[in-house]
Every structure is written in structure tokens, then in C-alpha cells.
Chains A and B, each alone.
Chain A
């Protein structure tokens, strides 16, 4: 009988070693591929009709577009339009990865800190580079809020720098922790069903709304990841 942590194991499907590097095609890579291909097929196929009055599938794709376009307009402003493809791709990838992990037998790609930290680290580096490119040395005024008394600078600037550097950590750990804890909880409750004999009906009934909650959290966490990336982009573009 497997423990609750065995579902997160990475198993190589096509082993491939180049010198010291292990570049195998693993189950994690497979599900990233499934998420990317699934999203591509869904978006391309549903929009291929190009009806002016959308069909149901086309409505769904248009809803995704509108949610992200509104998010960028509200959180980044009009200067955020060039970043729309990236934010859209980010949202779709995290959303599809999270939801595919909820399918029975699916592997949750985002339940590994290396995956979420790769995404969050990339966003943090990109946003910082965008800020420095656009504002030069004035980018450092991000750490000293305008209008604060000069003598508070000694306390305020280190606090602001630490808070800025903690952004990729909090962004990645939030997604990783939500996904991991959700799946561990599902497995632990499911484990009680076999353990409790006839009273196993109680955990079984409890598991149904818990699974619904987990699907809700999967969608919500993808939305939160994206909207926080938009907020960080706004900070870099507009320096406050």
C-alpha cells in the first residue's frame, strides 16, 4: 500500500543520459506536454470556426481571452498590452497543469517546487530586467516610497528590498504548497476509507466536496499566480 507522498515521484519514461546530465523524458515532462498540446488543440480547434456569434467552444476560448485581457488592463494598464501573449500562455499553462493533475491517474506538474520556482524565478528576473531597461537607475526608487521622511530610509529600504526579493519565493511556494497539500489531503482521506471498514462511508462522502474544493483551488491558484505576475509587472513598469 503506497503512502500519500508516492504520487509525486518522478519516474523516467525514456531514459537519456548525456555525460553527467540526466535528461530523461519523465512522467513530469509527459504531463507538461499533455497540458501544452491539450491547450493548443482546445484553443485552435474552438477558434477555427471564427463565427461572429460564437459557438459554445468558441465562447469558452473567448472567455479565457477576455479574463486575461481585463486582468492586464486593470492591473498593468495600457502599457501592458505587449505582455498579453506571455501572461495568457502563463495562465493557460498553469491552469491546464493544475486541472490535469486533478484527473484520476494524472500527474500534477506544478506540485514540484522546481517547476513552480522555474516559472516564478523567470517572471521575477524578466520583470526586474524590464524595469531596469525601461527606467535605468531610477528603478531603485521602487524601494523608497515617495513622500516618506528621509530618516525612515535606513529602516525602509532594507525592508523593501527583502520584501521585493521574497516575491519569487512566495509566488512559487504558494502554488507548490496548494497543489501538494491538496493532493496529499485527498490521498490521506482516501486512505481512511479502506481503514475504517463499514464506517468508510463517512470519508467517502467527505471526499466528494473535498475534490470539488480542490478543483476550485486548482483554478483559483492559476488565476492568483497570473494576477500577481501582472501586479509585479505593473510595479516594474510604473515604479509604485
Chain B
């Protein structure tokens, strides 16, 4: 197999890692909505923390993306 073909296959495989991050990010807002439904008064307090959860989970997706970009362009 040529190096060029292997690069593209490697990048495609690396992108599969984002499945977990997708589930995780969806989880953040799913639990926010559930918590909001149980206790509408806690909206502001929890609302401040969902962004931290989102950014930390999104970072995992970006780690996978970086590996894909390294295999394509590195």
C-alpha cells in the first residue's frame, strides 16, 4: 500500500473516535434538560456549568481530529 493511500485511511479511522465525543456532548444537554425539568429554579446555576462540560468533552473530539490531521499532513 502506498503512503498516500495509508494517510487517507488513517485519517478516516481517526475520525471514528469522534463517536464517543458526540454521545458525550449530547449527554451534557440531555442531563441539563432533565435536571431543568425536575427543578426549573436551578436554571442559572446549572446553566453556567454546562459550557465547561461541553468544552471538556469537545476537546476529546478535537484530539481525534488532530490525529487525523497529523496523519494527513504530518
- A interface vs B, CB < 8 Å? 5, 170, 173-174, 177-178, 181, 220-221, 223-224, 227-228
Contact = CB atoms under 8 A, between A and B. Distances in A.
A215 to B, nearest CB: 15
B41 to A, nearest CB: 19
Contacts of A228: 56
A221 B51 CA distance: 10
B52 A224 contact: yes
A227 B53 CA distance: 12
Given A5-B73, A181-B65, A174 B52 contact: no
A221 B54 CA distance: 11
Contacts of A220: 51, 55
B66 interface: yes
Contacts of A5: 73
A111 B59 CA distance: 14
Interface of B: 51-52, 55-56, 58-59, 62-63, 65-66, 69, 73
Contacts of A224: 51-52, 55-56
A17 to B, nearest CB: 27
30 contacts: A5-B73, A170-B59, A170-B63, A173-B59, A173-B62, A173-B63, A173-B66, A174-B55, A174-B56, A174-B59, A174-B62, A177-B59, A177-B62, A177-B63, A177-B65, A177-B66, A178-B58, A178-B59, A178-B62, A181-B62, A181-B65, A220-B51, A220-B55, A221-B55, A224-B51, A224-B52, A224-B55, A224-B56, A227-B52, A228-B56
A174 B60 CA distance: 8
Which of B59, B63, B65: most chain A CB closer than 10 A?
B59
A91 to B, nearest CB: 14
Closest 9 CB pairs of A and B: A177-B62, A174-B59, A224-B55, A177-B66, A220-B55, A181-B65, A220-B51, A181-B62, A178-B62
A223 B52 CA distance: 9
A125 to B, nearest CB: 21
Given A177-B63, A178-B58, 7 more contacts: A177-B65, A177-B66, A181-B65, A221-B55, A224-B51, A224-B55, A224-B56
Contacts of B59: 170, 173-174, 177-178
Nearest to A174: B59
A181 B73 CA distance: 13
B35 to A, nearest CB: 19
A181 B58 CA distance: 12
A223 B65 CA distance: 22
A220 B50 CA distance: 12
A125 B69 CA distance: 29
Nearest to A227: B52
A223 B59 CA distance: 14
A9 to B, nearest CB: 13
